[in-house]
Structure 1
């Protein structure tokens, strides 16, 4: 069964647009690998979390901010399709790895 991503966002903070953008990017990139993306209004103010089948992936408070889309795609890819190429998003990651050597 394909996984479902849940984006829990604070509607009072105005984060629906950000959540919609992230959802559309994930659905475009992982069209064949995902069951869908659920946008879920948070009950607590300031909450922004992303999970895959209820397993935490990103938490704004714990991680110190919102995820960049390329980093988020890598996190999702590593969980749902480890062999999938992300094109330019992977190139940036390889350059970073090369710089470390």
Structure 2
């Protein structure tokens, strides 16, 4: 449930353009909205994965790729102090992926 809660909360904040630093990463409004939708869809997929294991595994893989891209984005922006944040958010998702496989 923790693995679902983190992307869902962060995804909804990104869709409303709140709670995210605007000076690093994707700051365009439409891109931020789509990234929020992707994060929220991953959270819904993890919840559905409680019933259908393959859906949960696919959602977890998608979220792991999303957070890996976030790490690359932070490194490209040279905001090294912020690298830990996507890793912390990805940890429960990686744990849920490890438990499904």
With the shorter chain as reference, the TM-score category is: 0.3 to 0.5
Q: Which has the larger radius of gyration?
A: 1
TM-score, with length taken from structure 1: 0.32
- Structure with greater strand percent: 1
TM-score, with length taken from structure 2: 0.32
